[in-house]
Amino acid sequence: METSVAKQIGNDYQIKKNMTFRHEETPQGGRFFISANHENYGHIDYEWQGDVMAITHTVVAPAHQGKGIAKMLLDEVARYARLHQKKLRAVCPYVVKMFARDAAYDDVKVE
């Protein structure tokens, strides 16, 4: 499934209109990608633990680090979880940090 990235109002980063998300899922887990102009900017991996998406890994291409790409990926995973009534478990250190720092994920996170 591929969706366009909408401009986030109030966030501290700008999003190019040509960026898209792609989601690939398997019975064991899946991956969300973010790309633009046929270039992969990064991805976030998860494994299914029952109905919980355990986020295991976040990767951003070196050329795009520090631009809010990891947060965009996490926001997309959280949007997906809300839409499908799923919960998220932070395994990846970046997601652990974001869950502790940002209450915006309180409705989807589990310990």
56-79 per-position pLDDT tens digit: 999 999 999 998 999 999 999 999
- Residues 2 and 85: their CA atoms lie apart, in Å, by 19
Average pLDDT, stretch 17-21? 81
- 16 pLDDT higher than 60: no
Q: What pLDDT sits at residue 12?
A: 31
- 109 pLDDT higher than 70: yes
- Residues 108 and 87: their CA atoms lie apart, in Å, by 5
- Residues 103 and 86: their CA atoms lie apart, in Å, by 17
* Block residue for tokens 């309180």: 106
**Least confident stretch, 9-13, 14-18, 70-74:** 9-13
- CA distances from residue 76 to 6, 26, 105 in whole angstroms, order as listed: 11, 18, 11
